[in-house]
Amino acid sequence: ETGVTQSPTHLIKTRGQQVTLRCSSQSGHNTVSWYQQALGQGPQFIFQYYREEENGRGNFPPRFSGLQFPNYSSELNVNALELDDSALYLCASSLRSQTSYEQYFGPGTRLTVT
Amino acid sequence: AQTVTQSQPEMSVQEAETVTLSCTYDTSESNYYLFWYKQPPSRQMILVIRQEAYKQQNATENRFSVNFQKAAKSFSLKISDSQLGDTAMYFCAFMKQFGNEKLTFGTGTRLTIIP
């Protein structure tokens, strides 16, 4: 157990809808990263939040957006869902410091778009 | 941009044997970290072992060890005395030392430990 939690566990949405996924980071961590893992693939970096500001973004369109709250929990929002958005969404928390860099992952949210 | 390649989509080994998973990467960075993550059927990505590129000594964590060849950009994982609980997807990942903490993953190796 890493102490990182995600909700919901599973989600089924229809194409065109909007979805919000949630992540609670490990205690003491100030950074949250989101990844998309398509079936049979490695995770792909979506974006990262550090102290409530976006701090880096992967090759994902603007309909993927996020938030980080003062308690360092985070949300991933996806608008106008497409079939290809079906994937496992992983969040990872870390403590950004000069000596710490490891990311700890949550169990993921499985999103199915029909 | 960094790339990570895992050329073995699937591997299997008898329980108690030793297995080595391969990983190569491409980067122009001099300072970076390398990781092996394990993802069992439960889906939770678990950190197995990490290596700082500035360290010449290969990292070891109990039954897990790496062979880090910086010049060759190679980072293999050796699992000794394999156990049934080692059955999982294994991902090699790269992170630059400076900048945001973005992990770049390979496509994974599915490892099955046979009783």
Residues in chain A closer than 8 A to B103 (CB atoms): 33, 35, 43, 45, 92, 103
Q: Is the pLDDT of residue A100 over 70?
A: no
B48 sits in the region (left: phi over 0; alpha: psi -120 to 50; else beta) called alpha
**More confidently predicted of B49 and A101:** B49
Q: Which residues of B touch A88 (CB under 8 A)?
A: 43
Give burial (CB, 10 Å; 0-12/13-18/19+) of A9: exposed
Q: Is the pLDDT of residue B49 over 90?
A: yes
Per-residue pLDDT tens digits for A8-21: 999 999 999 999 99
Mean pLDDT over the full length of chain B: 94
A108 touches chain B (CB under 8 A): yes
pLDDT score of B99 more than 90? no
Nearest CA distance, B113 vs chain A (angstrom): 19
Tell me how far apart the alpha carbons of residues A39 and A20 are, in angstroms, rounded to a whole number: 20
Q: Summarize pLDDT for A23-53 with one digit per residue, the tens.
A: 999 888 889 999 999 998 999 999 999 888 9
Res B9: pLDDT:
96
| Average pLDDT of the residues in B58-66 | 96
DSSP code for B85: G
* CA A30 to chain CA centroid, nearest Å: 14
B74 in A contact zone (CB under 8 Å): no
